[in-house]
Amino acid sequence: MYIKTGDLVEVVRGKDRGKRGEVQRVVRGKFKYGRRKGQHDPDHDRVVVAGVNLIVKHQRATGRVQTQTGRITREAPIHHSNVMLVCPHCDRPTRVNIDRSTGKKVRVCKKCGQPIDKY
């Protein structure tokens, strides 16, 4: 997955299609069962995007711990294949090439060829 925390992404599938937001968190996928249970599964990587994939969580009071209760609207993780990185140079959702020429991985916009990360 080439999406990182702080990136601007655009949703390209689902009910929030067309929305843009900043990536707040990247959730690494896990195998849920089988021989590789618990290990990293890139097919299930997800991202939490500000203002996208909102759910209403019905939070009950639990014991004596002081927590926010009631109906809480919050973001749920969305699969990384349903969002695309927005290039800061050409302002379009794009895929990326990886440039390793400087010894550091740099993401490069496939549409305009400009680097997204710093060299």
DSSP 8: E
Type of residue at 93: P
Are 9 and 77 within 8 A, CB to CB? no
**Beta strands at 20-27 and 46-49: parallel, antiparallel or unpaired:** antiparallel
Least distance in angstroms from the C-beta of 75 to Zn ion: 26
* Total chain residues near Zn ion (CB under 5 A): 6
User: Any contact of residue 87 with Zn ion (CB under 5 A)?
Assistant: yes
- The single residue among 61, 72, 98, 112 that binds Zn ion, judged by CB under 5 A, is 112
Type of residue at 104: K
Q: Which stretch binds Zn ion (CB under 5 A): 20-28, 31-39, 63-71, 79-87?
A: 79-87
- Can you read off the two tokens belonging to residue 34? 């089988």
User: Any contact of residue 89 with Zn ion (CB under 5 A)?
Assistant: yes
Type of residue at 80: H
Per-residue binding letters, 91-110, with Zn ion (x by CB under 5 A): ------------------x-
What is the distance, to the nearest Å, from the Cα of residue 13 to the centroid of all Cα atoms in its chain? 13
Q: Which residues contact 68 (CB under 8 A, 6 or more apart)?
A: 59
Nearer CB in complex with Zn ion: 70/88: 88
- The single residue among 1, 54, 61, 90 that binds Zn ion, judged by CB under 5 A, is 90
Least distance in angstroms from the C-beta of 92 to Zn ion: 6
Binding positions for Zn ion, rule: CB under 5 A? 87, 89-90, 109, 111-112
